[in-house]
Homo-oligomer: A and B are copies of this chain.
């Protein structure tokens, strides 16, 4: 009997998928990853077996997700379309990797995911599967059966698959420790204000405390290591900041985005911890990266962001981009002071042993060590192409006329 490893979430779609795959003649191995959704996943393991899986695994992948995926997002400032730093796009390659590992361990010949046919995640899963083990068959039961919600429920009832409560929620949610993504329902109208119940990790501005929290985050080689002087491993740092910054309403995003599959969609994200860390990290880079590096890194970041968004995590290009990013992080050491207040993570101060800000050069007091005369020669040569162009092409006429 052919064996398939399925990315299992415990929800209706993937529960039905277990049965449906059985109908197609597969033994189903259910795998559920904990990447920091903040839910208790233990019952999910049981549920998979109940609805027909032959094996069921729960994998705590929070640390691997934080260290290898969220950290890359942090250090590379992966703001897709300048708006949100990737959420689902970061977890999909890791889930794919674990599925492939389990397929290879359990002798499965296929892997499966529960995505529909119009999202980005199907692409991310399938390209990752192909990258990691092109010999595995890839199945996409939800996309293939193409049932309406009613047909799916009918099938579930017939097969004794429990129907989750709250199935009538208008929203479609994906969450990991780096953030929470929400779409569907009223959000599909881009003129509509997202309703308060679309949010979960963040308090509404109207209900945030009237007193700020000011925190200090220390970075070592681009990795946040301590919060208010206390050591954290990265996954727990992020979760702690989700809580701290979420309380102040930090990190709501409302985005009309371009999907890889050719449509625009409207998504609502919450990223309290990621927002705080990303701003703090950027400030430390502003202090410590030399100008030409600071001005080119965004080009690499944009490419890496789009690559990850598009599901090409397991690409040689990602390795090369990541090698660039890693090389830059040796300078990103120091401490950032952040005020969390009314939806803001305001960086109020930053200091670093690698600081390239030189008060003696920058000051306008008599401590000034900058050589003002150098400017004359600098401007002459810096402006020389413009001057020659002007003489030749008579730009002066343009002004007069």
Contacts and interface: CB of A to CB of B under 8 A. Distances in A.
Interface of A: 81-83, 97, 100-101, 104, 116-118, 122-123, 126-127, 130-135, 143, 146, 148, 172, 183-184, 188-194, 205, 254-258, 260-266, 282-283, 286-287, 289-300, 302-303, 306-307, 311-312, 314-317, 319-321, 323-328, 331, 337, 341-344, 346-351, 354-359, 361-366, 368, 370-393, 395-396, 398-400
A254 B263 CA distance: 37
B399 A350 contact: no
Contacts of A258: 291, 294-295, 385
B343 A385 contact: no
B123 A190 contact: no
A361 B263 contact: yes
A218 to B, nearest CB: 13
A118 B370 contact: yes
B256 A395 contact: no
A364 B255 contact: no
Contacts of A264: 286-287, 291, 356-358, 362
B104 A349 contact: no
A376 B282 CA distance: 34
Contacts of A294: 81, 258
Nearest to A370: B118
B172 A82 contact: no
Contact of A386 (B266, B290, B324, B373): B290
A321 to B, nearest CB: 7
Contacts of A361: 118, 263, 384, 388
Contacts of A117: 370-376
A234 to B, nearest CB: 22
B148 A366 contact: yes
A363 B148 contact: no
Contacts of A380: 262, 371, 374, 377-378
A100 B127 CA distance: 36
Contacts of A383: 123, 126-127, 130, 262, 311
B375 A381 contact: yes
Contacts of A183: 364
Contacts of A373: 117, 377
B379 A126 contact: yes
A44 to B, nearest CB: 23
The list of the 5 closest CB pairs from A to B, nearest first, reads A377-B377, A117-B372, A262-B384, A374-B377, A258-B291
7 contacts: A118-B361, A148-B366, A184-B364, A188-B359, A354-B393, A356-B385, A374-B378
Given A292-B317, A377-B378, 20 more contacts: A82-B298, A100-B396, A116-B364, A117-B372, A118-B368, A123-B382, A126-B383, A131-B389, A143-B376, A188-B363, A190-B349, A190-B355, A262-B381, A262-B383, A263-B362, A289-B316, A311-B383, A314-B390, A377-B377, A378-B380
